[in-house]
Structure 1
Amino acid sequence: MKIDLHVHSKFSTRPSQWVLQKIGCPESFTDPFRLREIACKKGMAMVTLTDHNTIKGVLEIAHLPDVFISEEVTTYFPEDGCKVHVLVFDISEQQHNEIQRVRFSVFDLVKFLRAEGIVHVIAHPLYSTNDLMNADHFEQLLLLFKNFELNGARDESQNKILKGILAGLGPRDMERLSDKHGIEPAFKEPWKKNLTGGSDDHSSLNIACKYTEVNAARTLKEFLEGVDKGGSLPHGNEATPLTMAYNLYSIAYQFYRKKFALDRYIHKDIFMRFLDNFLSSHNHKSGLKSRIYFFINTHRQTKTPDNTASIKQLLRHETQKLILRDNDFLSMAKLGDTKEANLDEKWFEFVHHISNGTLLHFLNPFMDHLSGANVFDIFSSLGSAGALYSLLAPYFLSFSLFARDREVAEKIRLRFAQNGVPQIQTVDAMNVAHFTDTYYEINGVAATLQQQVVHAKKTKKNLTVITCEDTSHPHVKGVKNFTPIGVHRLPEYPDQKLFYPPFLEMLRFCYREKFTHLHSATPGPIGLAALAVAHILKLPIVGTYHTALPQYAGYLTDDSAIEDLMWKYMLWYYEQMDFVYVPSKSTGDELTAKGLPPEKIRTFPRGVDTERFHPSKKDLQFLQQYVDVGTFKLLYVGRVSREKELPLLVQVFKKLSRSINHISLVVAGDGPYLEEMKKALAGTRCCFTGAVMGDALDKLYASCDLFVFPSTTDTFGNVVLEAQASQLPVIVTNAGGPQENLIPGKTGIVVPAHDGPALTTAVKALIRSPEKLAQMGQAARRYAEGRSFQSAFEKTWKMYEDKEINGATYQDPLAKAV
């Protein structure tokens, strides 16, 4: 005999989800008769309803021979108000009334149920209904209850933890818990627990997705006796956040359909027809008139909405566009074909596509308004995008609740693991997701992340780099590249692109991968996605400040107001982090001076691959394709842009060339200043190699004589360490992070920022002293060997284990994420 022992009808009227509370919607719309019909079609031998603290719904169908009266009772631990739910089966109206009287104490309720001989089950035992559930409460439930539910609306990992704990209990465990809590179990062999299954359906979409079977039972009495004596078997599937969100959309749709009498539009409008087929369990017969309307809707030419279109118009447009190009969705709109499995996945795909298309409609104008500082238009675009994201609230809420459930279950699991209960695994290893908007590019940040992926794989650490780029790349284990929903090119910097990430897809990925820590390497759109994911999934997040974006913005726009605005945004973003990792003390001091709390700042180690960058890579034959190898060879490696102070280097090299005949300059890199720099240095011994990678870059470093890096905006400067590892002395400025990556006077020279004469003098001094140049080169190599990448990576990994991060408290995830 099979029965779904946990189902709700329209008589469950008080929703726990704030999304439904906000619109004044009950938590279910399923009619008791319709519920019974669906359960019977799915093979259930008998039917019951378990509405919250009421039997009104089940009484409507109680006269039918295959129906029995039950309810889901809300009860409390009297000492702190922790709420738990208890399923009670085959009760009378009189028993229901008495249950309502005693239910405010779980101890009084259980005492009454035992006295009456009522079969009862603790529902979703690891679910924290009002955020108060903890390991102490669960231990008491083990002493009070014999029967435990595997809930079909909860996460698979939660049910696995529950099964593991129950299976691992022994007599000594129960004795210990009894002594600890002063509760004597009222049943024999209290360490032996029974399991039931129930769908906990609220929308009619998941009835009997999980159910209980008692093989030998032929009557209800035999069935319930089987449950109480350990003869029950739970079957079916658990839920995911997608399942819960799908149900929330369904309940809200059914609420609005009834409130606004939308039935009259279902056969006339393809949008309404699609929603009804997807979000309700009603069967609509398709008559001639309905088919005519469908034909007209699918063949009507639709105009692309302009910038004044409302959210409603955009959603309708995107829906119709998606339906017409996707055969599965077209079939759903036409036939109501809901027989396929994983409808929650299909609904997610639908919401994901139309929300991305609609959001893109607002994002591009928003970025244009931002570039033009059109304040009122900016707020208009933000308001429209905010309205769209309020429609995605069911997903934000569902992922947040499931993440909270995981957290509660994990803490309870850890309690039992520490107490030696078998079959309980230890806590999973640390699993880090590192969000970045630069991974495939040629720059220091990307190079560091690429090295981290390789080293994490070697040392068997769980690291995944998450990025978003519009070009295809070979799959690399440990790297997840999302296809952007759109791209914005910065008018002041055409080579730089901002990619809009597919947020819902990222959120689902992070939930499925069970990351324990998030790291954001960017305050851009991908970094904002990381921040929202962290708050929704209640994960610790740290951020890296490695690019002086405010200063770059000032350089590119020559507008101090834009630079100030960028600083305000940067401070807002990094204040959301648990910690901010900076690559140098000077960078940390700058952030503190701007107003970032100093207690948030941590200097993290950076290293260099001393095996790759090595003086043995010297190859003058390779170098002669660029310059005369008999000259004194200056080298610059990096982005060719004004913010790197390359106009200053142009002036210095021109001056050096006039007084020193045997000097040359190699500029390795690409960027917006390249053509202008080429013209400025025409007629000199300067060679532009373009972007150089791999072995060619290694040889280039090792084959030159002196590395020059005049930048004042770099927060670290990987190239400075790479040059020293290749046995090149370096010259840097006293602004920014590079000055902290050498030993002044021993491995290189630090000159004042923006000081052309000082830079010229430093270069001349080393040209005139070959012996000192060689000594500096050897010291530079020794210094770099003490800054190995492997050592730096291990130290950074340990920083994730900081107790202050892992013990961080979080505000309401939706309040911070939306």
Structure 2
Amino acid sequence: MSHPYAEAFFGKQQHFRDPIKFYFKQNHKNNHDTALYDLRDLVRPRLKIAIVTETWPPEINGVALSLLQLCKGLQQLGHKILLIRPEQREVCADFKPNKECLVKAQTIPRYPSLQFGWPQYIKVSQALSDFAPDIVHIVTEGPLGLTALQAAKAQKIPITSGFHSPFQDFSRFFDLAFLVKPIQHYLRWFHNNTQLTCVPSVDTEKALRQFGVTCDLHIVGRGVDIQRFSPTHRSEALRERWGVNADTTVMLYVGRLSPEKEIELIIETFDAQRSAQKNVQLVIVGDGPDLSRLKQFQGAEQTIFMGSLTGQDLAVAYASADVFVFASQVETFGNVVLEAMASGLPIVAYNYACAQQYVKQQQTGWLSPRGQAAQFIQDLMTLPSRYQLNKMGEQAAYATQRAGWQKPVQQLENALYQVAQESVFVS
């Protein structure tokens, strides 16, 4: 595969793995390393990127919302994007791709808030042919992702992928443990048929290696919008609606209501706190297939279920609480932890993924070893005063000041360039 921009700029010297260094060696023999990193972005061609995903805003989940930020960042850097996704009833107003290919959508069984795309091979293949992308980046491994993988291979287009949801772990929580091995086998096959897989954390990288993914793995982290999520959005009016006073500690959970999130542990601990005469209130933001089951647990009657919130309403809910509680042990990252910290909340969570990366023990939260629910419960039962929580929350907000989306966008861009460059310059 050749690239007209590359040939025009570098000639036919495709055997050099790094054409930028080759250019400087030929034209600046005495000082070719000078300001090399500054000029690299100026001479690299902008890419035409086909992004394939089965989830996209206004769907509310970490994968969709993170992908939106990454797409916006890539487009702002000058890259052109073809977005291939299932059709939706509502339109995402925050991003307009250069081109779009919509396939028919199908609701996922037992998970009505999510959907997958029909494997419309001819439509996807034609969209790729018309757009002529430099690279195809497949975000989800469902039927649409598989179709795009096959179409891209047929057209000899470089392929990268993303790993965002540990489906092999989810299956255990949906009485589908017998599917763990087949799902692992499929995911291993899928990602090994791409040239590079982007993962959001070191923990996810290790997990993929453990079940046999051998392609290049590239960490693309996550960020948070510190303007949208900020302690400045705190609302005493909302706290009054929650029925709490100045001495009440408000514990907040935000996310899907799904079995793998282990929210029942939080509700049961909340009930134990109330029995111990602690002045606490649990607020749960989100919706999902586990809602009716969760409402049957002891303590659920006193829990405030707010449903799904977005935009300013979500930001206000975060900032108006006092501590964020997160019992999930199957995250690839956990964006909500960063959002909560940016909103001025200390964290109670397990010591992995996002929490491991950003939370400092007893400074901005409490981290329990994975699998040790007793320690998680103990941390909740021994929460300090609201004053101390708020002080820790100030430190948490400060810790996210440099956790914006610029770095993750650059990480993804570098991963895409790595594969596209290898395709163009290595024959």
For the pair 1:611 / 2:230, whether they are aligned, the reply is: no
Corresponding residue of 2:322: 705
For the pair 1:508 / 2:126, whether they are aligned, the reply is: yes
How far the C-alpha of 1:766 sits from its partner, in A, is 2.9
Q: 2:254 aligns with which of 637, 643, 647?
A: 637
- Answer yes or no: is the 8 Å Cα contact 1:439–1:446 preserved in 2: yes
Provide closer, same or farther for how the CA distance between residues 621 and 579 of structure 1 changes in structure 2, counting only shifts above 3 A. Answer: same
Provide closer, same or farther for how the CA distance between residues 413 and 683 of structure 1 changes in structure 2, counting only shifts above 3 A. Answer: closer
Pairs within 5 Å for 1:508-657 = 508-559=126-177, 561-597=178-214, 600-630=216-246, 631-657=248-274
Q: 2:358 aligns with which of 709, 716, 741?
A: 741
How far the C-alpha of 1:754 sits from its partner, in A, is 4.4
Q: What is the CA–CA distance in structure 2 between the aligned matches of 1:554 and 1:479, rounded to whole Å?
A: 39
Corresponding residue of 1:465: 83
Q: 1:444 aligns with which of 48, 62, 80?
A: 62
Q: 1:671 aligns with which of 288, 301, 325?
A: 288
SS in 2 for 1:581: strand
Q: 1:731 aligns with which of 345, 348, 355?
A: 348
SS in 1 for 2:170: helix
Deviation per residue, 1:108-163 (Å, 9 max, x gap) = xxxxxxxxxxxxxxxxxxxxxxxxxxxxxxxxxxxxxxxxxxxxxxxxxxxxxxxx
- Residue type at the aligned position of 2:84: I
Pairs within 5 Å for 1:133-144 = none
Q: What is the CA–CA distance in structure 1 between the aligned matches of 2:416 and 2:403, rounded to whole Å?
A: 20
How far the C-alpha of 1:412 sits from its partner, in A, is 5.5
- Residue type at the aligned position of 2:342: A
How far the C-alpha of 1:466 sits from its partner, in A, is 2.3
Range moving further from structure 2, 663-672 or 674-683: 674-683
Q: What is the CA–CA distance in structure 1 between the aligned matches of 2:390 and 2:55, rounded to whole Å?
A: 36
- RMSD of equivalent CA atoms: 2.7
Seq. identity, %: 26
For the pair 1:782 / 2:398, whether they are aligned, the reply is: yes
Q: 2:421 aligns with which of 793, 806, 813?
A: 806
Provide closer, same or farther for how the CA distance between residues 736 and 568 of structure 1 changes in structure 2, counting only shifts above 3 A. Answer: farther
SS in 1 for 2:226: coil
Q: What is the CA–CA distance in structure 2 between the aligned matches of 1:655 and 1:718, rounded to whole Å?
A: 28
SS in 2 for 1:497: strand
Higher relative contact order (CA 8 A, sep 6+): 2
How far the C-alpha of 1:808 sits from its partner, in A, is 4.4
Corresponding residue of 2:73: 455
- Residue type at the aligned position of 2:289: P
How far the C-alpha of 1:470 sits from its partner, in A, is 4.5
Deviation per residue, 1:629-651 (Å, 9 max, x gap) = 54210000000011111122222
Corresponding residue of 2:275: 658
Q: What is the CA–CA distance in structure 2 between the aligned matches of 1:807 and 1:553, rounded to whole Å?
A: 36
- Answer yes or no: is the 8 Å Cα contact 2:82–2:100 preserved in 1: no
For the pair 1:484 / 2:103, whether they are aligned, the reply is: yes
Range moving further from structure 2, 519-528 or 728-737: 728-737
How far the C-alpha of 1:465 sits from its partner, in A, is 3.2
SS in 2 for 1:449: helix
- Residue type at the aligned position of 2:401: E
TM-score of the pair, normalised by structure 2: 0.84
Q: What is the CA–CA distance in structure 1 between the aligned matches of 2:105 and 2:221, rounded to whole Å?
A: 35
Corresponding residue of 1:696: 313
- Answer yes or no: is the 8 Å Cα contact 2:103–2:120 preserved in 1: yes
Provide closer, same or farther for how the CA distance between residues 520 and 483 of structure 1 changes in structure 2, counting only shifts above 3 A. Answer: closer
- Answer yes or no: is the 8 Å Cα contact 2:251–2:324 preserved in 1: yes
Provide closer, same or farther for how the CA distance between residues 620 and 501 of structure 1 changes in structure 2, counting only shifts above 3 A. Answer: farther
Q: What is the CA–CA distance in structure 2 between the aligned matches of 1:633 and 1:449, rounded to whole Å?
A: 31
Q: 1:497 aligns with which of 106, 110, 115?
A: 115
Provide closer, same or farther for how the CA distance between residues 436 and 723 of structure 1 changes in structure 2, counting only shifts above 3 A. Answer: same
- Answer yes or no: is the 8 Å Cα contact 1:648–1:754 preserved in 2: no
- Answer yes or no: is the 8 Å Cα contact 1:652–1:759 preserved in 2: no
Deviation per residue, 1:8-67 (Å, 9 max, x gap) = xxxxxxxxxxxxxxxxxxxxxxxxxxxxxxxxxxxxxxxxxxxxxxxxxxxxxxxxxxxx
Q: What is the CA–CA distance in structure 2 between the aligned matches of 1:808 and 1:744, rounded to whole Å?
A: 45
Q: What is the CA–CA distance in structure 1 between the aligned matches of 2:399 and 2:130, rounded to whole Å?
A: 43
Provide closer, same or farther for how the CA distance between residues 625 and 456 of structure 1 changes in structure 2, counting only shifts above 3 A. Answer: farther
Deviation per residue, 1:319-357 (Å, 9 max, x gap) = xxxxxxxxxxxxxxxxxxxxxxxxxxxxxxxxxxxxxxx
Instruction: Give unpaired runs (5+ residues) of structure 1.
Output: 1-403, 420-425, 810-818
